[in-house]
Structure 1
Amino acid sequence: MTDSILQSPNLTLCADSNEVLNFKRDSHNYITQLFGEQLPAIRTGLFNVHLTKGIIIQPHWHTNVTELVFVISGEVMTSVFDPFTQKLMN
């Protein structure tokens, strides 16, 4: 199976993940995003999340995607709700 996007001679292979601001609380707490519109070669999206201690991302869920978290510096606690056991895993 060939992907016509990846076969394009004009395929964009780089983008700035800081161009699109998704959320901003203040200058230290903000989220930027990078998705297929800016970088068609990726099938998923990328969020740059900058949060200070004590700030949380609103609990949410995804019905048709997965989420992967990379921590570049600091610490993070993530929680996942298991719909089958009805339990929260931290």
Structure 2
Amino acid sequence: MAQNLNYTSPSVQFSATINTNVVTKDRQNYINVLGINELNTLDNVSLLDIFLSSNNVVEPHYHQNAAELVYCISGAAVVSIFNPFTKQFMHFSIAPGQVANVPQGWWHYEVATTDQTHLLAIFNSPTPDVILGSDLLKFTPANIMAHTYCMNENQWQKTINPVQPTMFIGPPKDCGNRPDPQNAIRYYQQPYYQPPYGS
């Protein structure tokens, strides 16, 4: 039961329209958000209704307060998850009726492998927090990144200059420098891939 909610109040919501809070890249790539702010009776559950065209990516990120179950409704996608215990990425191809589970706090991303991909991401939190890769890259001071990794600070700044904070869905619409957009997903078209430990 949602904490401190007066179920006799006229403001109590038991239904909602899912497209009132939308993160949009374009008409084929967008995310409908449903959390406690959109439906105040939710209790330890929320979801993202994700629509992607081929080669579009829900950018690398993690949820420090929620696990995520990614369910494929239509199309197909690869869900990539970094295992912090083995220090390896695992890649799961999912098609309609298949799921991939992302434990709480694990770095992950999803890449659509066909047009009209529809995914449902379900969380065990009424408001999942998210740390986005674009924000980490953009807001960590360039001098710290350069010093930490023994890099040229100007080169680092030049490299990340095109990165827009809080991207959510990539690549950017004006990205024209990718010679082969299939490179991001070609290797992971098989149903499951995990490299041998230590390789």
* TM-score interval, normalised by the smaller of the two chains: 0.7 to 0.9
Bigger mean CA deviation after superposition, 56-65 or 7-16: 7-16
Q: Distance in 2 between matches of 1:2 and 1:27?
A: 34
What is the CA-CA distance between 1:44 and the residue it aligns to?
2.5
Whichever of the two has the greater Rg, that structure is 2
Q: Note the 1:30-45 alignment, pairs <5 A.
A: 30-42=30-42, 43-45=44-46
Cα distance per residue 1:43-88 (max 9 Å; x no partner): 2321111101110111111112111112111111101111111111
How high is the TM-score relative to the length of structure 2? 0.41
Q: Note the 1:1-90 alignment, pairs <5 A.
A: 3-5=3-5, 8-10=7-9, 11-22=12-23, 24-42=24-42, 43-90=44-91
Residues 17 and 46 of structure 1 are in contact (CA less than 8 Å); yes or no, is this contact kept in structure 2?
no
Q: Distance in 1 between matches of 2:2 and 2:28?
A: 42
Residue type matched to 1:39 in 2?
L
DSSP-derived class of the 1:69 partner? strand
Two-structure CA RMSD over aligned residues (Å): 1.9
Q: Quick one: structure 1 residues 71 and 12, their matched pair in 2 at CA, closer, same or farther if it must change by over 3 Å? A: same
DSSP-derived class of the 1:77 partner? strand
Q: Distance in 2 between matches of 1:88 and 1:25?
A: 26
DSSP-derived class of the 2:59 partner? coil
Residues 35 and 46 of structure 2 are in contact (CA less than 8 Å); yes or no, is this contact kept in structure 1?
yes
Residues 2 and 41 of structure 2 are in contact (CA less than 8 Å); yes or no, is this contact kept in structure 1?
no
Cα distance per residue 1:17-60 (max 9 Å; x no partner): 111112x1211111110110111222232111110111011111
Bigger mean CA deviation after superposition, 36-45 or 48-57: 36-45
Q: Distance in 1 between matches of 2:62 and 2:3?
A: 29
Superposed structure 1 runs of 4+ greater than 6 Å apart = none
Q: Distance in 2 between matches of 1:39 and 1:2?
A: 11
> Relative contact order (alpha carbons < 8 A, sep ≥ 6): 1 or 2 greater?
2
Residues 29 and 52 of structure 1 are in contact (CA less than 8 Å); yes or no, is this contact kept in structure 2?
yes
How high is the TM-score relative to the length of structure 1? 0.84
